[in-house]
Amino acid sequence: MRTRYTDTEDCTCDICGRKKFSKFVRTTKKNKPGDLKKLVGFSIHHKHYRTMYKESRDDIMILCNNCHDAGHMLATNSRICPSVYGQLYDNFVTQTGWEHEPYIIRKKQKYVNKGKKAG
């Protein structure tokens, strides 16, 4: 079994650069120097789900939970309230390389005109 992307000792957020772990410097009751200390939760963000369970590094982003939540919040809010969040989301995408394809079966979109004339 391969090590999960977020379990490596140098796991770093693709967006903000913070690290998931620091190392203990001194001996404590439970730890010795060099043991990993978790600083913050991390998530694997899937840019798309076409390679689910056999994703390569290019298919995902490794993000701290703050950046991950921010990306999804901006994506959702940019649809709900584009006048406020649209530009923010566009900037976020440009600056971070964020990509996201929602987990839905995408059929080719066919708009059938059911008799109404476009006006």
Q: What residues line the site for Zn ion (CB under 5 A)? A: 13, 15-16, 45, 64, 67
Neighbours of 48 (CB within 10 A): 14
CB of 32 to Zn ion, least distance (A): 29
> 12 and 62 in contact (C-beta within 8 Å)?
yes
Provide the 10 A C-beta neighbour count for residue 75: 16
CB of 61 to Zn ion, least distance (A): 8
Give yes or no for a contact between 40 and 65, defined as CB atoms under 8 angstroms apart: yes
For Zn ion, the closer of residues 35 and 99 by Cβ is 99
Element (H, E) at 62: strand 60-64
| Nearest to Zn ion of 64, 74 (CB atom) | 64
| Closer Cβ to Zn ion, 29 or 106, answer by number | 106
Of 103 and 111, nearer to Zn ion (C-beta) is: 103
The string of DSSP codes covering 22-51 is EE--S--SS--TT-EEE-S-EEEEES-STT
CB of 46 to Zn ion, least distance (A): 6
